[in-house]
Amino acid sequence: MAILDVLTYPDPLLHRIAEPVKIIDSKIKKLVDDMAETMYAAPGIGLAATQVGELKRIMVIDITEDKSQLRVFINPEVIRKEGLAVHEEGCLSVPGFYDKVERAETVMVTALDREGQRFTINASGLLAVCIQHEIDHLDGHVFVEYLSPLKSNRIKNKLIKRQRELEREAELSQPRRRISAAARA
Ligand code: QAP
Ligand code: CO
């Protein structure tokens, strides 16, 4: 198992549409396992394959406190939505930012599990929010798109600035690799 790198908004890959999984082979199972490990390590309650740069319709969710109920959704489809509810959301790809988003209150979803078995669930509350948030990722959407342009631009600019700082720190921690030809001369 491995902890994967999570893409940060506004990475362009986060806006691509993921492809359905055709066959659940050992590579897909490894990706599912690595995604679960990555989500638990964060820690987070949901992660879509798009967030780790894999444009496949796979997401993992565990909303329990004790990490006891991993749910794997492969090729998920919403077959019914009802009501509206507002919930505070965050995202591993939007670290440090949280805001309220309105979504359906309950959703009926069908998907394949890690073994390829079809299951259908009726979700409400936090699970319903999380399922809709992760399916959005598979369709190339990030929750900040639902916020006002003022808020989403502010978040985007702060994350770009932070990414630049992180890249600069990474450079400084490996000075030897970066000595230029001019400096050696
Ligand atoms: C999606 O999000 C979600 O900013 C899953 O610094 C979130 O697991 C659905 C996280 C809320 C419904 C409600 C976020 C971790 C985790 C951060 C997550 C952070 C560290 C987000
Ligand atoms: Co997210």
112 C-alpha vs ligand 2 centroid, how far in Å?
20
Q: What is the pLDDT of residues 105-117, one digit of tens each?
A: 999 999 999 999 9
In a domain, 184, yes or no: no
Residue 156 lies in a domain: no
| Tokens encoding 76 | 């998920």
Is 66 a member of any domain? yes
Which run of H or E residues covers position 10? none
**Per-residue model confidence (pLDDT) at position 26:** 98
pTM for this structure? 0.94
CATH assignment at residue 102: 3.90.45.10
- Pocket test of ligand 1: the residue of 3, 9, 45, 70 to mutate, having most ligand atoms within 8 Å of its CB, is 45
Query: Average pLDDT of the chain?
Result: 95
Annotated catalytic residue: which of 82, 134, 145, 165?
134
Pocket residues for ligand 1 (CB within 6 Å)?
42, 44-46, 89-92, 95-96, 129-130, 133
Domain total of the chain: 1
Given a cut of 50, the residues of the chain with pLDDT beneath it are none
Domain of 38 in residue numbering reads as 12-147
127 CA distance to ligand 2 middle (Å):
13
Question: Which residues touch 143 (CB under 8 Å, ≥6 apart)?
Answer: 89, 91, 94, 99, 101, 133, 136
**Does the residue 169 lie in any domain?**
no
Within 10 angstroms of residue 124's Cβ, the number of other Cβ atoms is 14
Whole-angstrom Cα distance, residue 52 to residue 39? 10
Atom of ligand 1 lying closest to residue 90 CA: 7
Q: For residue 10, say if its preceding peptide bond is cis, omega within 30 degrees of 0.
A: yes
CA distance 103 to 135: 12
Does residue 4 belong to any structural domain of this protein?
no
In order of 63, 83, 120, the CA distances from 123 in angstroms are: 12, 12, 10
Q: Is 88 a catalytic residue?
A: no
Taking the centre of ligand 2 as the mean of its atom positions, its distance from the CA of residue 88, in whole angstroms, is 12
**What local confidence, expressed as pLDDT, does residue 24 receive?**
98
Give the number of the ligand closest to the Cα of residue 129: 1
**Residue with CA at minimum distance from ligand 1 atom 10:** 92
Q: Domain for residue 182, yes or no?
A: no
Sign of the CA dihedral running 7, 29, 123, 78: positive
Check residue 174 and give its pLDDT.
78
Count how many residues are written for the chain.
185
Note whether residue 52 is domain-resident.
Answer: yes
The best mutation among 59, 88, 91 to test binding of ligand 1, ranked by most ligand atoms within 8 Å of the C-beta, falls on 91
**Inside any domain, residue 105:** yes
